[in-house]
């Protein structure tokens, strides 16, 4: 019983820490679930490891999602809106060379395997990485959610 009490105290003290300082100020929290049938021709590129696809359907992320097949039936999904400025007409990123995406506003490039900005400059500004979304695979159905 003492272990349970200590565990409960630990969770209350450290599990509810305020991490708002790490939150991207440009991208709002959206709740969504996008189901992708990998058998559809529209998503044919996702059947090959190393390929990334932009899916800009309504209700999928803020300005769409970018999904990459990481291989071995593993997928990563990211917000398609550039994480380093507020969403705008030019902020929806495009897939470049399958493993990168690029923002048309400032030409920022990001790695689709890590979500990290590739071309960070030493100008003293803090740059945000891409916003990650959860993925699950069940047969040929890929589900992306936040």
CATH of the domain at 107: 2.102.10.10
Average pLDDT, stretch 73-97?
95
User: Is residue 128 domain-resident?
Assistant: yes
pLDDT for the residue numbered 98? 87
Q: What is the pLDDT of residues 29-74, one digit of tens each?
A: 999 999 999 999 999 999 999 999 999 998 899 999 999 999 999 9
User: Is residue 25 domain-resident?
Assistant: no
pLDDT for the residue numbered 126? 84
Query: Which structural domain, as residue segments, surrounds residue 109?
Result: 33-145
Between CA 135 and CA 146 the distance in angstroms is 9
Count of domains for the chain: 1
User: Is residue 19 domain-resident?
Assistant: no
User: Is residue 88 domain-resident?
Assistant: yes
User: Is residue 27 domain-resident?
Assistant: no
pLDDT for the residue numbered 123? 84
pTM above 0.85, yes or no: no
User: Is residue 47 domain-resident?
Assistant: yes
User: Is residue 123 domain-resident?
Assistant: yes
Between CA 34 and CA 109 the distance in angstroms is 25
User: Is residue 6 domain-resident?
Assistant: no
């Amino acid at each position: 019983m003492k272990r349970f009490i200590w565990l409960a105290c630990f969770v209350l003290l450290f599990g509810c820490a305020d991490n708002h300082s790490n939150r991207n100020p440009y991208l709002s929290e959206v709740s969504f679930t996008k189901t992708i049938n990998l058998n559809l021709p529209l998503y044919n590129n996702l059947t090959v490891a190393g390929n990334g696809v932009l899916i800009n359907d309504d209700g999928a992320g803020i300005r769409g999602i970018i999904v990459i097949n990481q291989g071995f039936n593993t997928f990563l999904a990211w917000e398609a809106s550039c994480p380093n400025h507020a969403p705008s007409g030019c902020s929806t990123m495009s897939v470049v060379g399958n493993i990168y995406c690029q923002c048309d506003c400032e030409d920022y490039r990001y790695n689709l395997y890590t979500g990290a900005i590739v071309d960070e400059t030493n100008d003293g500004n803090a740059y945000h990485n891409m916003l990650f979304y959860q993925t699950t695979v069940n047969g040929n159905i890929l589900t992306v959610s936040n």
